Homo-oligomer: A and B are copies of this chain.
Amino acid sequence: MAGGEQRVSIWSIPERQGRGPRPAYSRAQITEAAIRIADADGLEAASMRRIAADLGTGAMSLYRYVPSRDDLIELMVDHALLEMDIPDGPTGDWRADLTLIAENTRAVWLRHTWLSGLDRPRATLGPNRLRLLEFAFGALDTGVPIDDMLTLLDMLNGYVERVVRGEIEWRREMRQSGMTPERWMIHSAPYVRELLDSGRYPMFERIVMDARLPHMSAEEQFRYGLDRVLDCIAAVQP
């Protein structure tokens, strides 16, 4: 029994010692190759064999650099977070700052759609995550109690992640069915009509008939909803 498994993060394992032949690759190279494949063909396509083939080597060679595929994915996440374009400190306009965070998150997720499918939220306090956290909380530091800041940011991030997840799934479905949105509309019309005709789903009917949001572009939808969420945050501001 004793201590149990000492699960050390990939970050605590040094990249190399100085004894044998010089390594032909690096973690960064492997991570970037993996991201390239995952961006193009999905996370499941970024298999050890495929990554190795892209680098011109054998699958098992990668294990000299990375303990497991899961650890490699952790490296990929951190590498992607690096792309968040956030200033060093809050600008004084909390609404603009939170908008910046939201749109950056969306941009990075859409560029690396595999981020939305990770089985774990990966909330580890790496340096990048901490920098983002400082910026976000600094922006919201307008007299709101600290506990409320925590929940308001969970609310904001929850909204952003949920909507972007939906966007990504929609795109994926369009791609792999080879349909255009119009064709999809036509194709699903009979099922929708059946639901409407049953008369048992009045609210669903109002969404289909009256809502204008679903007919906007993805950007407009996101922006509109984001503004509503920020309105909510503004409403509870002291």
Chain A contact residues, CB within 8 Å of chain B: 4-5, 7, 9, 11-12, 117, 119-121, 123, 125, 130, 133-134, 137-138, 141, 146-148, 150-152, 154-155, 157-163, 165-166, 169, 172-173, 176-179, 191, 195, 200-204, 206-207, 210-213, 224-225, 228-229, 231-233, 235-236
Q: This chain: how many copies in the complex?
A: 2
**A177 contact from B7, B11, B169, B212, Cβ within 8 A:** B7
- Of all chain B residues, the one with the shortest Cβ separation from A178 is B4
Q: List 27 A-B contacts (CB under 8 A).
A: A4-B179, A5-B177, A5-B178, A7-B176, A117-B120, A119-B119, A120-B172, A121-B166, A123-B169, A130-B195, A134-B200, A137-B207, A138-B203, A147-B212, A147-B224, A150-B213, A150-B225, A151-B224, A152-B228, A152-B232, A155-B225, A158-B160, A158-B161, A158-B162, A159-B159, A232-B233, A235-B235
Chain B residues within 8 Å of A179, by CB: 4
The CA-CA distance from A159 to B156 in the complex, in Å, is 8
Chain B residues within 8 Å of A133, by CB: 201, 203-204
Residue pair A147, B213 in contact (C-beta under 8 Å) = yes
Residue pair A232, B225 in contact (C-beta under 8 Å) = no
**A125 contact from B125, B154, B195, B225, Cβ within 8 A:** B195
**A163 contact from B125, B158, B202, B225, Cβ within 8 A:** B158
Classify the interface of chain A: helix, strand, loop or mixed: helix
Residue pair B201, A130 in contact (C-beta under 8 Å) = yes
Chain B residues within 8 Å of A141, by CB: 203
- Of all chain B residues, the one with the shortest Cβ separation from A119 is B117
The CA-CA distance from A168 to B192 in the complex, in Å, is 35
Chain B residues within 8 Å of A159, by CB: 151, 154-155, 158-159
Chain B residues within 8 Å of A151, by CB: 159, 213, 224-225, 228-229
**A155 contact from B12, B119, B224, B229, Cβ within 8 A:** B229
**A134 contact from B130, B138, B161, B204, Cβ within 8 A:** B204
- Of all chain B residues, the one with the shortest Cβ separation from A120 is B169
The CA-CA distance from A39 to B224 in the complex, in Å, is 38
Other than the known A125-B191, A151-B213, what 9 A-B pairs have Cβ atoms closer than 8 Å? A4-B179, A130-B204, A134-B203, A137-B204, A147-B224, A150-B225, A151-B224, A154-B159, A159-B159
